[in-house]
Every structure is written in C-alpha cells, then in structure tokens.
Amino acid sequence: MLEIKCPYCGKRSQNEFSYGGDATIKRPQLGDEISTEDWDNFVYYRDNPRGKHSELWHHVSGCRQWFKVSRDTATHEIFDTCKMNEDFNV
Amino acid sequence: MSNSFRTTNSTGLINKDKKINFTFNGTIYHGYEGDTLASALIANGVHLVGRSFKYHRPRGFLGVGVEEPNAMVQLHDGNKSEPNIIATEVELVEGLKAKSQNCWPSVQFDIGEINNVLNRFFPAGFYYKTFMWPKSFWMKIYEPFIRKAAGMGKAPLLPDPDRYEHNYEHCDVLVVGSGPSGLASALAAAKNGARVILAEDKPNFGGSLLTDEVTIGNMSGKEWASDTISQLKSMPNVILKKRSQVFGYYDHNMTVMIERVSDHIENPSKYTPRQRLHYIRAGEVIVSTGSIERPISFGNNDRPGIVLASAAKEYMKVYETLVGKKPIIFTNNDTAYSTALEFIKNDIEPIIVDTRDSSNGELVKEVQQKGISIKFNSGIADTKGHLKINSAIIGKLDSSKESFISEETVECDCICMSGGWTPTVHLSSQAGNKLKFNDDIDAFVPDKKRQKETAIGAANGSFTLNQSLAEGFQVGFDLSNKFTDQNNPTNSPNSNEPSYEKHEKLWCMPLPSGKKPKRFIDFQNDVAVSDVELAIREGFRSIEHVKRYTTLGMAGDQGKTSNLNGLQYVSKIEKKIVPEVGHTTFRPPYTPVTIGAIVGREVGNHYLPTRKSPIHTWHEENNAVFVAAGLWQRPRYYPRGSEDMNSAVNREAANVRKNVGICDVTTLGKIDIKGPDAPEFLNRVYTNAWLKLPVGKARYGLMLREDGMVFDDGTTSRLSENHFHMTTTTAQAANVLSHLEYYLQVVWPDLDVNVLSTTEQWSGIAVAGPKSRDLLSKLFPDVDMSNEGLPFMGLVDSSIDSIKARIYRISFSGELAYEVNVESNYGLYIWKKIMEEGQSFDIQPYGTEALSTLRIEMGHVAGAELDGRTIPFDVGLNSMVSQKKDFIGKRSLSKDAFTESDRQTIVGLVPLDKKTKIPEGSHIIEDNSAVAPIPKLGHVSSSCWSVEYNNPFSIAIIKDGKNKIGKNLYAVSPLKDISIPVEVVSSHYVDPEGTRVRS
C-alpha cells in the first residue's frame, strides 16, 4: 500500500485516496470546435509510460481535494506531490 | 514408550513440571509446556506425520520451524478445523487435536501410495500431458479426479468462530528476527532513541543464540539474548512482539505481520483475538531473518527420521528431545558437527559422514578428540525403512564425486543432514531488492535495494557471530540516527565462537549402483532430481519455467529448503554458474496466513458499513422487508398478514395510483451548491439549461460523462440567487460529488463555487397519489397547495410543530406528488405525523419495489436503463439536451456511432398473453425459430406488473426502437429456457402526456 503525501493533510495511506488518471490531460475549452481526433485523444487515449508519471489523486476519505502526484509506475516511488495550482519541485 | 526420546538434561526451554495432553490421530500423548506439536511427537517417538503431496510417501519432520515442508497436519475439528498447519509451528496446548492429512484410510496404510509405485507414470508436467486427450474426458473424469486428489488438508465447511483483529503501527525501525544481529540492531536503534518494533516468529527471542555454544561479553549467547531482551523491554520506545511473523513486504515500507495471540493459551478469554494482523509502516526495515539449513539430495532422502542437522540440535537444546538414538550425521560442512557434539553430550555416539576429503575446523577436531571417527569422502547413497528410516547405505565417493566406489549398509534411526546455509532473503526480495550471488556461501544475498530495507547477519550472508553483532550494532545505530540525530552509538561486545572451515559444493549424491531411488529436492511438492532433469531435457530453460513445470519451490513452502538446491542442480546440468541461471521470484506471504486474519473484523455485519435512514425503526416496526441499496438498507415492501411480495407490491403501488402513498427517499444523494458561479457550473454539468431557473423552482437535470453516456439524473432546485440544492440517485451520490469536485478543482478552478454533501443532513419523504394535495394541505395549512400556489417543480418552505420543512412538488411515480424534506433528526417525527394525518386518506407506505413499478409503467428511466452504455437519445431524453450551449460530454454526442438513427432505444413491452412476466435481462429477438446465432435486437432492462392495466409490463432497449412500436417480437431467456411473444409499445405506458403530475 502506497503512502501518499496529500499537500493539504500530509502523509496518509493509499486507502484514503482514489486515483484520477493522467494529470497532464487538458480538457478542451467549452464551446471550441474540436476535431473528432482531438476529442478522442482527450476522452479515450492515454499514454501508459513505464517510469515517471504525473497523475491526479483525490483525497476522498480526507479533505476531498484533488491534487497532483509524480510517481514512478514501475517502482511506485513518489517523487513529489503538489496542489493543482502548483508545479512539482522534483 | 511415553516421552522415551526426552534427554535427561533440563537446559532447554520446556517446563517438565507441566504436562500437556494432546491427541494425534486418535492416540492420546503428553508433552510439556514449551513443546511444539512437533517436539512432543518426536519425544514420543512419532515421526510419521503425513503423506506427501503427489506420491503419498510417508513423511515426517525435516525441520523445527517455518522451514518445515513435510509435517503438515489438520488441527482441531468442527468449525475450528484448520488444514495444512505446520506441526513445528504449533505450540502444544492442553487438549490439542491433530491428525494426518493426505492419507486414506490411515497414515500407516494409505491407498494413495499406489502413486509411489506408479511414479514413473507421474513425471513432471504429468498433468499437462495426460489430461489433454480425449477432450471430452476433461469435465467429467479428469477434472473431478484431480480436484479430489489435489490439496492436502480439508478446508473447514463451517464459519470460523474465532475473532481476528487488525492493527496499524508506525515505527522508525522495524527489526525482523531476534537472532544476534536482530537483537544488536534493535538495542542500538532503541538506545539511540528510535521507535523500534522487534518481531520474532518463535515463542522465544534469541534465534541461533538459543542453540549455539558461544559467548558474548562475559555471558553465554543465551544469557546475552535474555539480558538484551530485558533491556529492550524496559524502554518505552520499543515494542517487542514474539509469535509474530512478518510475512509480507509491500510498497513504501509497508510490512504485514501476523501475531499468534491466543493459539497457545488453553482457555483464552472470549474477547482475546485468536490472531492479530499488524500493518506496520516502518521508516526503515532491518531484515535479520537469519538463514535456513539446506538438505542434501540422496536416494530416498525423504523417509521419516531424516532431518536437518540444525533441527536435530534445536530439538535437543530447546525441546530436550532426541530425534533418534542411533544417528547418522551427513554433511558437506562444519556446522553439523555441533549437532554431533550435542548427541555426544547426551551419551549418544553418532556416525559421521562427510562428503569432504577432510576438515580442520574446531568442531571437527573436538569430535575427533572424543574418539569419534569420521567417514570423510563419503556420502549416503540410499536409505531403507518404509514408515521410518532403519538403515542407510553409505558409499565411498570416487575422486570426481560423481559415483560411489563402495557401499555399506549401516543401521540407524535418524539421519541429520546439512548442506550448508541459505540466507532467508524472502523479505528483501519482496521489497524489490535485486539479489546477488555470493560464491563464498553459494547462496543469494540482498544487493541493490529499492526500498528502505537493510539485511544484516546471516540473512545478509554474514555467518559468523562476530560479523553479525558488528553489523547489527552499526546498522541499528546508523538507521536510527536518521530519525533521532542523538548520535549515541552502542559498541559491539567481544564474542567467542568456533571457527569453521569451508563447505563443499556438493548437494546431490550420485545414485547407488544398479538402482534409481528418488532423490528429493522439494519435499513439499514432491519434486525429485529426476523431475528437474526431465524438465531440462524437455527444453525448459528459464528457471521460472522449470519452477512451474516441476512445481519446485511453489505453494505454501515458497522453496525455503528447496530453492537453492534446485538452482544448483539446474546450473550443474546446464553447465552454467548459478547467477546465470538466476532465481525465481519470492512472493508474499512468507508463511501461510489464515484467511480469517486477512479478513479481520470485516465479517458478517461488519463486512460493510450499514446506512440506515432516521425512519428505519418505523419501517422495522411496520414489518418492512429490507433490501440493500448500496450501503443503505431500504424498505422493499411492507407485507400485511400472509401477503407474498407480489401482492404486497401491487397493493402498495395501486394505492399510490388510487389514494396516497408515502415512501422514504432519504437515501437520495443531496449536494449543496453555493457560489456566484453556481448557475454557470450547473449549466456546464447538466445537459439542459440552468442559467434562467427562477429562485424557488426545481428542474430535472441530466448529467453525462465526457464520453457522452448518461451519468446521473435528478432534480436540482434554486434556493436563492447563488444557492442550489442538487439531488442525485442513491447509487451515484458519492460519484457525483467526486465528479463535481473534479471539475471545480481540476478543470475549471476559476469558477467560484463550493459543493458539499448534505445527504445525511436531510430526511426525505415522498408523498404521492391523487390525495396527496389534500393530505399536505391539512398538514401545512399555511401553504397554498393549489396547482397555482405550488405548481409542478415548485418548492416552498414551511413548518410543522415549529419544525422547518421544505416541500418540493416533484414526482417519480408520475402521480401528483410532493417530497417533504426536514432536518434528519426530525425525519421520524414528521413521517409519523404524515402517517397519522394520512389515515383518513387511506395512506399506505410503499417500498422500493412499488417505487419501481410506478416509475417503470410511467417509462421513467433509472439505473437499469442508465447503465453507462446509453446516451440521452437511447433513453428518450433527447429533449433534455440543449443545442445552444456546451456541456460535459456534448462533443461525444455528435460522433458517428452516436448519431446513427437505428441505435438501440427505449421501448415498452407487453406480453401477448398479458400474463407472463418477462424476466429482466431477457434478449429481444425477431424470429423465434431462427438458427443460432440469432441476431439480438436488445435486452429487457426493467420489468413490473402494471397496476394500472393489471398485466406485465417491461422496459427494453432495442435496435431502432421507435420504428418497432406495434410489432410483435420475442423476449427469450435461454438460461431459463423461456421464450415469450411480446408486443412493442411506447415506454410511456401510463399517462404518456404527463397530465397527472401537473394536475
């Protein structure tokens, strides 16, 4: 079980969190014309990297904040976590 | 006979003043306090414990602790029965009952032993080869046969009566194993101020110090261990846990430890758990798990009475028990000579067989000085004795050590073998450590770590006491200093131990001349040298493949005694060095863990939290039958007298259509939404328009996922300019909240909106039916309940008995209906009040079944239709989709597949005979007599008995639904073997114009 540092609450066990997927995906602007390909890339397509991955986690059984985690998908090492409006230090 | 294999000394850890009676295979024996089931049986001369997995060969004890591969028993009976328990790990307790497993009719005479005679038909991979043909035999003949033959003990069929607990611990340093290095590191870390947990699997701390003749400082090893433990005990920053096995090492230094709390207590108190599972998140883990002695492969090396030399020594020193009185010591190294010396101390002269040409080790010399001659350059070729060893064939090895020059038969009652030592690297490996091969000890040791884990002592390949202590004190200090910065090192005391000469790289004896007895490598899985040879001959090269083909090192044992011997043999045949062969993966658990401990207290009612509405007690008192809706318990129906479910549901639903019904809708999700951007947010979240919703009005809203599928629906009302009250379905309440938080925090953080779940703050009561207006007028005389005063989708605040209530005019049943919301604590009071006042209007409560009936015949969609595979068009909600604005998921709706005109859409179905109910999940087909595969048009999502028309009615989602209305199709359920002719009708079966809700 991972130990994740919530930027608001501090270190907590993984069972307090839920995973939210790739943090680098940007939702297209509302009202913009979007090609089917771009839309499909947003809705369906995700990279599945081995190694460093920026991802979203939600502290569901805690402060209920969404935040960013930089994690190694192979070793589970967590390099850094930060709030949504912040950038990773590492 | 009783306890005739006890030694006369009393230097061990058993208490001969306290007798303990136990039963094995129906015979009553006694042992003493401090015994294990294994030591007590051996003391009584019992070596035959069970039958082996595959060949049903008689098996006894090989080891003395967790490494034991053979001696598995079935413990207790009835609901306490437990299979596959290692007898060496069971502490003796008064009245203990154990029996042999994998044998019939008895362990002495086992029919299954025929497998041993037929063993040439059961080679490695036998299952893969034999049961392939003919194919039709698999289900009826092979599979049931294998199922019966497989496994060892019998799983209990009754619920586990014992209590198990979970505990979460945090510490700076976790030390696993309390041998010399473990004790040293725990002491150094604790003295340096760190929070330390020391875990020991056995009932006594000390590890090898309990059996080795060594001195530390001015104390014996055993004394030093007990002195160190008392020091640690007095320190507030230390937790000592014996009978506790750390069996798993997971990510981020999470380890899991099983503690046997009361198995060894005769009458534990009712509230003492049987076992406790500790989740320990440690800053640093010190792996001081020691090493396990390796067996040697030789002909029939699995007979009862053939044990590891270290086990024989521990039985003598700790349990005051002799594994035999005519021992042969068979070794490739010096350490087994300490076992020989222990026999000599008990006035027994062992025969010593050593594969090496010579040794000048201290212990070897000591043995020779006692006048014992040693058969160097020799090995055991074969053994005899069916149920217990009675003689060994000892052979002189030739110079290549590939064959025997001469053989002699020697009588014996036990063989104590030693093939050297294997560091216990399981935990390090589980932690992701890349092991490296150490040529000096011919074994793998931890190398590159991935987690905060450090192996020390024998687990690190440091086999001398001096080294172990030095490593322990140093590592304990270094690691603890990361947390405390106290800089308070503890010096390692001087120690004395015998010096050892090197072992010989020889773990497999040649075959005796003219014979081919089985030479076992893995005792638990019945894997012999010939099986490994076969696997390689058949082309398996990867060690992982050899493992799976032969089953070497698998199952509960995880190769504790067999792993390296297997690798060594593969490397020998392949003519590769061991590191090139590599090793297989060590997996948790290190030792088997009972399911009860993993489950803990999460059984029965504690399996999941139960959510109850504040009105729950009333439902109970009024005979409600409950149904689980997620975590909620909801009334399903309220039977009267001898009513069955169908009649109760029909009565309740009909009463709503005719008079008035009351339903507890507290479980609906409720979310409070506030902020200046709240209308804009709702406008983005819902498919329909929200900006112009007037204050005091509710609106039905539909939410999509980004992929265009309907996510949830519900009514949301505007309480003030910037304040909304959203309702969600019961099932999706938590998901909708997370969804809203995601969009507010991640996607549109610029929106100034706050969301908060208020599900548990409100109690909701639906009052539905033509008489509901009159009833509510009576309850709330101050409110104008007329259609103009409180129109459909209106809301008003009022009160009863000065309890604030919010009344919504909304309807799920399709009737004129209201929903009264009050603060949760008043839910029950108001419910009772409505029931009381409702008597004169023939009010009846209705449950979730009637609720479904009412919504189905109205064609209102719910979870069965909004199943994550339907877009608004499919469920007849296209009018809810705004063309003017963008919203979550809108772009998906214009994708090609979603705009096809013949998509599966919602329709109603009525059976032609107006009698046969259509099972939910039935397939809809056009031609009943078509040959398979028959094209499927869709499926039935919801079914009910229409109380309006008094016939069955279903909702289905079928291809090109709109154009199928009026046609006759078939609803088929191949599982139930039924086929029902149906007519397709509109899904809005009752009041399609929706006049009632607006009346």
Task: Determine the pLDDT at residue B126.
Answer: 64
Taking CA atoms, what residue in A is nearest to B708?
A43
Place of tokens 């035959």: B48
What's the start-to-end Cα distance of chain B, in Å? 95
Give the residue ranges of DSSP H helices in B44-81. none
Which residues contact residue B543 at a Cβ distance below 8 angstroms, ignoring those fewer than 6 apart?
A: B567, B570, B581, B582, B583, B584
Q: Both B5 and B152 in a single domain?
A: yes
Task: Determine the pLDDT at residue B914.
Answer: 97
Taking CA atoms, what residue in A is nearest to B680?
A30
Question: Measured between alpha carbons, how far is B596 from B166 in angstroms, rounded to an integer?
Answer: 11
Per the CB < 8 Å rule, is A56 touching B746? Answer: yes
Q: Both B55 and B173 in a single domain?
A: no
Q: Hey, CA dihedral for B287, B293, B296, B301, is it positive or negative?
A: negative
Q: Which chain B residues are Cβ-neighbours of A13 within 8 angstroms?
A: 254, 281
Which of B249, B251, B741 best probes binding to A when mutated, by most A CB atoms within 10 angstroms?
B251
Q: Are strands B391-397 and B378-384 parallel, antiparallel or unpaired?
A: antiparallel
Q: DSSP string spanning B126-159?
A: HHHHHTTSSTTHIIIIIHHHHHHHS-SS----SP
Per the CB < 8 Å rule, is A2 touching B745? Answer: no
Instruction: Write the residue in B432, B741, B887 that is nearest to A66 by C-beta.
Output: B741
| Residue-wise pLDDT tens digits, B305-318 | 999 999 999 999 99
Task: Determine the pLDDT at residue B742.
Answer: 98
The domain locations on chain A are: 1-23+46-90
| Residue-wise pLDDT tens digits, B759-787 | 999 999 999 999 999 999 999 999 999 99
Q: Is residue B104 part of a domain?
A: yes
Q: Both B520 and B395 in a single domain?
A: yes
Rg for chain A, CA atoms, rounded? 14
Domain count across chain B: 6
Beta bridge partners of B943: B954
Q: How confident is the model at residue B575 (pLDDT cuts 50, 70, 90)?
A: confident
Q: Hey, CA dihedral for B184, B186, B191, B193, is it positive or negative?
A: positive
Per the CB < 8 Å rule, is A58 touching B706? Answer: no
Q: Is residue B537 part of a domain?
A: yes
Q: Is residue B875 part of a domain?
A: no
In 10 A of CB B924, how many CB atoms?
26
Q: Which of B447, B465, B494 marks a domain boundary?
A: B494
Q: Are B171 and B283 in contact (CB under 8 A)?
A: yes
CATH number of A1-23+46-90: 3.30.2270.10
Task: Determine the pLDDT at residue B218.
Answer: 95
A–B interface: beta-carbon pairs under 8 A: 54
| Residue-wise pLDDT tens digits, B124-146 | 766 666 666 666 666 676 666 66
Tell whether A18 is within 8 A of chain B (Cβ): yes
Instruction: Write the residue in B254, B684, B891 that is nearest to A34 by C-beta.
Output: B891
Question: How near does any CA of chain A get to the CA of B746, in Å?
Answer: 7
Tell whether A75 is within 8 A of chain B (Cβ): yes
| Residue-wise pLDDT tens digits, B936-978 | 999 999 999 999 999 999 999 999 999 999 999 999 998 889 9
Beta bridge partners of B798: B805
Question: How near does any CA of chain B get to the CA of A49, in Å?
Answer: 19
Question: How near does any CA of chain B get to the CA of A73, in Å?
Answer: 12
Q: Both B835 and B956 in a single domain?
A: no
| Residue-wise pLDDT tens digits, B64-96 | 999 999 999 999 988 999 998 999 999 999 999
Q: Is residue B429 part of a domain?
A: yes
DSSP code of B504? P
Q: Hey, CA dihedral for B911, B913, B916, B922, is it positive or negative?
A: negative
Q: Both B48 and B119 in a single domain?
A: yes
Is B966 exposed, middle or buried (CB count within 10 Å of its CB: 0-12, 13-18, 19+)? exposed
Q: What is the dihedral of CA B546, B552, B553, B554, to 10 degrees?
A: 90
Question: Measured between alpha carbons, how far is B993 from B567 in angstroms, rounded to an integer?
Answer: 78
Task: Determine the pLDDT at residue B134.
Answer: 66
- Identify the CATH number of the domain in which residue B728 sits: 3.30.70.1400
Question: Measured between alpha carbons, how far is B698 from B690 in angstroms, rounded to an integer?
Answer: 10
Q: What percent of chain B has pLDDT over 90?
A: 86
Q: Which chain A residues are Cβ-neighbours of B747 within 8 angstroms?
A: 27
Question: Measured between alpha carbons, how far is B677 from B807 in angstroms, rounded to an integer?
Answer: 26
Instruction: Give exposure, B175-196, as e/b (b: 16+ Cβ within 10 Å).
Output: bbbbbbbbbbbbbbbbbbbbbb
Residue B514 predicted with pLDDT over 60: yes
Residue B202 predicted with pLDDT over 70: yes
CA A6 → CA A18, B177, B446, B568, distances in Å?
Answer: 12, 33, 33, 48
Tell whether A60 is within 8 A of chain B (Cβ): yes
- For residue B869, give both structure tokens: 């595979």
pLDDT (mean) for B229-244: 98
Question: How near does any CA of chain B get to the CA of A64, in Å?
Answer: 8
Q: Both B186 and B285 in a single domain?
A: yes
Q: Which of B814, B832, B858 marks a domain boundary?
A: B858
Task: Determine the pLDDT at residue B363.
Answer: 97
Q: Which chain B residues are Cβ-neighbours of A58 within 8 angstroms?
A: 738, 741-742
The Cα angle at residue B422 between residues B416 and B424, in degrees rounded to 5: 120
Q: Both B278 and B427 in a single domain?
A: yes
Share the mean pLDDT of chain B. Answer: 94
Question: How near does any CA of chain A get to the CA of B255, in Å?
Answer: 9
Q: What percent of chain B has pLDDT over 70?
A: 96
Q: How confident is the model at residue A69 (pLDDT cuts 50, 70, 90)?
A: very high
Question: How near does any CA of chain A get to the CA of B78, in Å?
Answer: 36
Per the CB < 8 Å rule, is B741 touching A58? Answer: yes
Q: Are strands B434-438 and B374-375 parallel, antiparallel or unpaired?
A: unpaired
Which of A14, A30, A78 best probes binding to B when mutated, by most B CB atoms within 10 angstroms?
A30
Each as own residue / partner, the long-range contacts of residues B404-408 (CB below 8 Å, 24 or more positions apart, any chain) are B404/B379, B404/B510, B404/B512, B404/B513, B407/B381, B407/B512, B407/B513
Q: Are B737 and B743 in contact (CB under 8 A)?
A: no
Tell whether A65 is within 8 A of chain B (Cβ): yes
Tell whether A8 is within 8 A of chain B (Cβ): no
Question: Measured between alpha carbons, how far is B15 from B300 in angstroms, rounded to an integer?
Answer: 36
Q: Both B411 and B543 in a single domain?
A: yes
Question: How near does any CA of chain B get to the CA of A34, in Å?
Answer: 8
Q: Is residue B37 part of a domain?
A: yes
Q: Both B219 and B238 in a single domain?
A: yes
Residue B456 predicted with pLDDT over 80: yes
Tell whether A87 is within 8 A of chain B (Cβ): no
3-state secondary structure B193-246: CCCEEEECCCCCCCHHHHCCCCEECCEEHHHHHHHHHHHHHCCCCEEEECCEEE
Q: Which chain B residues are Cβ-neighbours of A64 within 8 angstroms?
A: 741
Q: Are B791 and B726 in contact (CB under 8 A)?
A: no
Question: How near does any CA of chain A get to the CA of B457, in Å?
Answer: 27
Q: DSSP string spanning B385-430?
A: -SSS--EEEEEEE-TTSSSEEEEEEEE-SEEEEE--EEE--HHHHH
Q: Is residue B457 part of a domain?
A: yes
Q: Which chain B residues are Cβ-neighbours of A20 within 8 angstroms?
A: 742, 746
Taking CA atoms, what residue in B is nearest to A56?
B746
| Residue-wise pLDDT tens digits, B592-642 | 899 999 999 999 889 999 999 999 999 999 999 999 999 999 999 999 999
Question: Measured between alpha carbons, how far is B625 from B645 in angstroms, rounded to an integer?
Answer: 9
Q: Is residue B65 part of a domain?
A: yes
Residues of B with CB under 8 A from a CB of A: 250-254, 279, 281, 432, 450, 684, 706-707, 738, 741-742, 745-747, 749, 886-887, 891-892, 895
Question: How near does any CA of chain B get to the CA of A44, in Å?
Answer: 8
Residue B150 predicted with pLDDT over 60: no
Q: Is residue B888 part of a domain?
A: no
Question: Measured between alpha carbons, how far is B580 from B573 in angstroms, rounded to an integer?
Answer: 13
Taking CA atoms, what residue in A is nearest to B887?
A30
Per the CB < 8 Å rule, is A66 touching B747? Answer: no
| Residue-wise pLDDT tens digits, B402-447 | 999 999 999 999 999 999 999 999 999 999 999 999 999 999 999 9
Which has the minimum average pLDDT: B99-103, B824-828, B940-944? Answer: B99-103
Question: How near does any CA of chain B get to the CA of A14, in Å?
Answer: 10
Tell whether A2 is within 8 A of chain B (Cβ): yes
Q: Are B535 and B542 in contact (CB under 8 A)?
A: no
The Cα angle at residue B660 between residues B659 and B665, in degrees rounded to 5: 155
Task: Determine the pLDDT at residue A2.
Answer: 96
Tell whether A90 is within 8 A of chain B (Cβ): no
Q: Both B301 and B374 in a single domain?
A: yes
Q: Which of B558, B581, B604 marks a domain boundary?
A: B581
Per the CB < 8 Å rule, is B891 touching A18? Answer: no
Q: Both B113 and B168 in a single domain?
A: no
Per the CB < 8 Å rule, is B892 touching A43? Answer: yes
Per the CB < 8 Å rule, is B706 touching A42? Answer: yes
pLDDT (mean) for B838-862: 97
Question: Measured between alpha carbons, how far is B292 from B420 in angstroms, rounded to an integer?
Answer: 9
Tell whether A35 is within 8 A of chain B (Cβ): no
- Give the relative orientation of helices B336-345 and B309-317 as an angle to the nearest 10 degrees: 40
pLDDT (mean) for B469-475: 98
Beta bridge partners of A56: A68
Task: Determine the pLDDT at residue B583.
Answer: 83
pLDDT (mean) for B330-342: 97
Instruction: Write the residue in B251, B684, B706 that is nearest to A43 by C-beta.
Output: B706
Which of A37, A45, A66 best probes binding to B when mutated, by most B CB atoms within 10 angstroms?
A66
Task: Determine the pLDDT at residue B833.
Answer: 98
Task: Determine the pLDDT at residue B429.
Answer: 95
pLDDT (mean) for B111-129: 69
Instruction: Write the residue in A20, A31, A36 that is nearest to B742 by C-beta.
Output: A20
Q: Which chain B residues are Cβ-neighbours of A36 within 8 angstroms?
A: 895
What is the distance, to the nearest Å, from the Cα of residue B313 to the centroid of all Cα atoms in its chain?
37
Place of tokens 């005990």: B233
Question: Measured between alpha carbons, how far is B43 from B58 in angstroms, rounded to an integer?
Answer: 19
- For residue B210, give both structure tokens: 């309990």
- For residue B856, give both structure tokens: 């189905």
Which of A2, A43, A75 best probes binding to B when mutated, by most B CB atoms within 10 angstroms?
A43
- Identify the CATH number of the domain in which residue B209 sits: 3.50.50.60
Q: Are strands A78-83 and A66-72 parallel, antiparallel or unpaired?
A: antiparallel
Task: Determine the pLDDT at residue B984.
Answer: 98
Is A63 exposed, middle or buried (CB count within 10 Å of its CB: 0-12, 13-18, 19+)? middle
Q: Which chain B residues are Cβ-neighbours of A18 within 8 angstroms?
A: 738
Instruction: Give exposure, B616-645, as e/b (b: 16+ Cβ within 10 Å).
Output: bebbeeeebebeebeebbbbbbbbeeeeee
Per the CB < 8 Å rule, is B741 touching A64? Answer: yes
Question: Measured between alpha carbons, how far is B873 from B899 in angstroms, rounded to an integer?
Answer: 9
Per the CB < 8 Å rule, is B749 touching A84? Answer: yes
Per the CB < 8 Å rule, is A30 touching B252? Answer: no
CA A23 → CA A20, A50, A68, B794, distances in Å?
Answer: 8, 16, 7, 41
Per the CB < 8 Å rule, is A3 touching B254? Answer: yes
What domain range includes position B46? 1-157
Q: Both B676 and B635 in a single domain?
A: no
pLDDT (mean) for B878-884: 96
